[in-house]
Structure 1
Amino acid sequence: MAMAVLATAALTSCGSGSGSEPVASGTVTLSFLTGSDQTAVDTSKALVDAFMKANPTIKIETETRPGGSEGDNVIKTRLSTGEMTDVFWYNSGSLLQALNPAQTLVDLTGDPVLANVQTDYLPVVTQENKVYGVPAASLTGGGILYNRKVYEQLKLEVPKTWAEFMANNDKIKAAGITPMIGTYKDTWTSQLFVLADFHNVQSAVRNFAQDYTAGKAKFATTPAAATGFQHLADVHAKDYYNKGFGSATLDQGLKMLVEGKGAHYPMLSALLPPLLKTYPQTATDVGLFGIPGDDPATSGATVWEPNAIYIAKTTEKLDAAKKFLVFVASPAGTEAVTAAVPPSGPYRIKGSKLPEDALQVAKDLQVYIDKGATAPALEFLSPIKGPSLEQITVAVGSGLTPPAEGAAQYDKDVEKQAKQLGLAGW
């Protein structure tokens, strides 16, 4: 979800393109297709510039593609017609299977390219036991972004249970501060109470993702999965949201959070780095905790794994392409990225460390990683994500649809998609 959400910028180019000057004799030129959102553009440029400086005989020409479904179609079309660039940036997780990787991508299983990639990341770039990509950026945490100054002022502690979280909201409201920020004008932002709750779902029902994909488990009939919808209703019933939350935008919500006018915002950590230029206090004043569950012993966070860089099977420059991926998946590569794009979470590269001045949300997420208290979002484990979820969560979070009914509506929504994908059990 993270990159799909962020990838809304217009089609731009960050490379030299077809009008580039002739390449010097003995130099190999790689083509690289990346995303058009600012984070992808800046990250790709940092990797390419650092790599070319260290490898002067390899030149990389970069082009961008649109975000969302339009960008998905560009990738699929170019792969199917044999016109894909040598390397390209794309989602990790369940969307990978739609690329038919066995026929279109270079198999990296057992290759030294993967030497520095953390084993926890490999499943999200694996299909049919074959590994195809390396992480292109840092992890994104999903949960509750909170204003640490408000917590300090009111002497609150980070909650480990939903009851503790609601008690904090009561104290915040009593102090005259908006407890919860809602930004339903940008409808996708309403989904986080459901999507970022998956760590709790998996803790309670270990095989939920597998059974859900097979049509055996449903949100409405699995109490742990239905809880995310209940959370939306609970927060609305207590009148914790900001006034006008139905017409508020993401940008307004982030501003409220950073300025301390709102204490909690269910959101993704990747949305914070772009705020630093205008609100440098974002780095220290905003923290992250996972959606609290019922058991403090299983307190943790849901993560959105980094997008990946893949090699198209049609490349005629495999050695150079692999050399670039080795650099991407190295501490030197992550250091180059960090210098250009402050990470919103840890990297999935062995030996990479967050800088001392890293965003607080990245440090908070590192603590969960170190404890082994994370789970990937459901979309990394299952290809099924109904297109109407954001409309359903807006209705539940606005008090228009009961939570149980919302969960049942979502089960019907995903059924259509599962049948379109031809999944067994549906």
Structure 2
Amino acid sequence: MKVWKSVVSAALVSVLLAGCGSNAGTDNEQNEVKAGSTVNLKVFVAQPRLKEHYDKYIEQFKAKEKADKNIEVNVQLEMPPADNAPQILKTRLASNDAPDVFALHAVNEIPPFSKAGYLEDLSNQPFVDKLLDSVKPSVTDASGKVVAVPLETLSWGYLYNKDIFKEQGLEVPTTLTEMKAVVEKLKAAGITPFELSYKEAWVPQLFLPLTVGALTQTEHKDFVEKMNKDEASFSDMKALFDVFDLVNANGTDKALEVGADDGAAAYATGKAAMWIQGPWYAETILKSNPDVNFGVAPMPLNDNPDDTKINLSTSTSLAVSSSSKNKEVALDFVNYILDDKDSSAFYEALKFNPVAKVHTFKSFPWVDDALKYVNEGKAYQDPKIPQAVKDESGKALQGYYSGQLNQQQVIDALDKAWKSYNKVNK
């Protein structure tokens, strides 16, 4: 597997930003959609495992548009895998071929996409007043405009099998030394400690925000700021390897052959006690085994319990392209995502957290687990790491796992990726 590559994502962001002030947001003229019209709406969401739920909700939206406005809507739903989606979307945006509605990561992608002028201002849309006060800032750009409707808000670290922990008399570890003791006790009982599923690069990439997010709470508080100025290095984040090595040495086999969906199925059936993954896989896990009892806990990085915290983030969110030819219907669609009557059932089916005042469903047990840490102040906001750096980290850690790269080569790749990002964002 070839993993030592130049940073393609940074180049795409460069092209994307070059569009600012040219084609971006200029092809905007809208005519009111007349009753009896047919509109073709392109929607781009990189969550293929949840397709059946999106399909069902889209059918409800189409029925509502027909009933309310007598508009026939044909929705072309594109759901690429998460590994390919960012580059596909950036290429589309840069070539003026944007979907009408597309998913983006709120923390990582709103800043560059908004700067490039590719996001419609949604500040005056009805859904905005429904957002929880804690959620609204995450979909607001630097100029104060709301530019997306949030789907996923996350509290994550790793997943652990509560029944296995209880049977083995284990407590959730608060330090790396305690985690090592948990690992040894599981192995002594013949239980594999960790599920490994690195076929898709975005999964090993998860170790990056967990490491950076936690360490910037204590000894490296200005790491992100310094990296944005080319004044720091990932050599400050070597705890990444301490955790990654521990997990890999005590995990399931053939990680590079196992995708996240297969990993979810294996974890659901008890093949391992823990998985470095987020609760966004809850729906897939429970589909494989409705009776599995899992919780969410923060991953220890070292022996400082102050660094053991939950990651808080808003990830998948839906934006409207500023160049959409079907803006009226696109705006109807993103407003329907938080429909007073229908959205609670939609979010609950997806196993997502409530994000709006209109959401009435009860939070899930794993959400309550994470919330306990949040309420105790043991949480941090997902760090603002450029997407190009995250993409590079996934590939580099695949290479490190397979023995093709050493620690210094991984550090050099991540430093280079961030510097390349800086060059096109100064």
Shorter-chain TM range is 0.7 to 0.9
Match of 1:45 in 2: 55
> 1:375 aligned to 2:380?
yes
SS of 1:64's partner is strand
**Paired residue type of 1:158:** V
SS for the counterpart of 1:272 is: helix
- Structure 2 unaligned blocks of 5 or more: 1-8, 10-32
Aligned pair in 2 of structure 1 residues 71, 201: CA closer, same or farther (>3 Å)? same
CA distance in 2: counterparts of 1:73 and 1:249, whole angstroms? 19
Contact map agreement 1:135 1:348 (CA 8 A) in 2: no
Contact 2:139 2:147 in 1 (8 A): yes
| 1:129 paired to 2:138 | no
CA shift, 1:320, in A, is 5.2
Alignment pair present for 1:94 and 2:94: no
Aligned pairs for 1:33-182 (under 5 A) are 33-35=43-45, 37-39=47-49, 41-53=51-63, 56-58=67-69, 59=71, 60-65=73-78, 66-67=80-81, 71-72=85-86, 75-76=89-90, 79=93, 84-99=98-113, 103-109=117-123, 112-182=126-196
Number of the residue aligned with 1:226: 238
Distance in 2 (alpha carbons) for counterparts of 1:81 and 1:255: 38
Cα distance between partner residues in 1 of 2:332 and 2:390: 38
CA-atom RMSD, angstroms?
3.8
8 Å Cα contact 1:135/1:306 also seen in 2: no
SS of the residue aligned with 1:115? helix
| Cα-to-partner distance string for 1:244-286 (whole Å, 9 max, x where unaligned) | 556555455434422323211212322331233332123xx22
**Structure 1 unaligned regions, length at least 5:** 5-22
- Hey, what does 2:282 align to over in structure 1? 272
Cα drift, residue 385 of structure 1: 0.8
Aligned residues: 389
Which residue, 371, 389, 396 being the options, matches 2:393?
A: 389
Deviation at 1:150, TM superposition (A): 0.7
Match in the other structure for 2:228 = 213
1:117 to 1:226, Cα distance in 2 relative to 1, 3 A: farther
User: Structure 1 length as normaliser, TM-score?
Assistant: 0.75
Deviation at 1:199, TM superposition (A): 3.3
**Which residue of 2 is the match for residue 414 of structure 1?**
414
Inter-CA distance 253–174: structure 2 relative to 1 (3 Å threshold): same
Q: What percent of counterpart residues are identical?
A: 19
| CA distance in structure 2 between the aligned counterparts of 1:388 and 1:306, rounded to whole angstroms | 19
Q: What does 1:279-294 align with in structure 2 at a 5 Å threshold?
A: 279-282=289-292, 285-293=293-301, 294=303
Which letter maps to 1:286? Answer: F
The question of whether the paired residues in 2 share the 8 Å contact of 1:160 and 1:292 is answered with yes
TM-score with structure 2 setting the length: 0.75
For the residue of structure 1 that corresponds to 2:117, the secondary structure is helix
Q: Distance in 1 between matches of 2:184 and 2:387?
A: 38
1:283-302 per-residue CA deviation (whole Å, 9 max, x = no partner) reads: xx222212124443554212
Equivalent-residue separation in structure 2 for 1:160 and 1:354 (angstroms): 31
* Native 8 Å contact 1:32 1:85 kept in 2: yes
User: Does the CA-based 8 Å contact 1:132-1:310 persist in structure 2?
Assistant: no
After superposition, the C-alpha distances for 1:151-178 in whole angstroms (9 at most, x for unaligned) are 1101212222222222211221222211
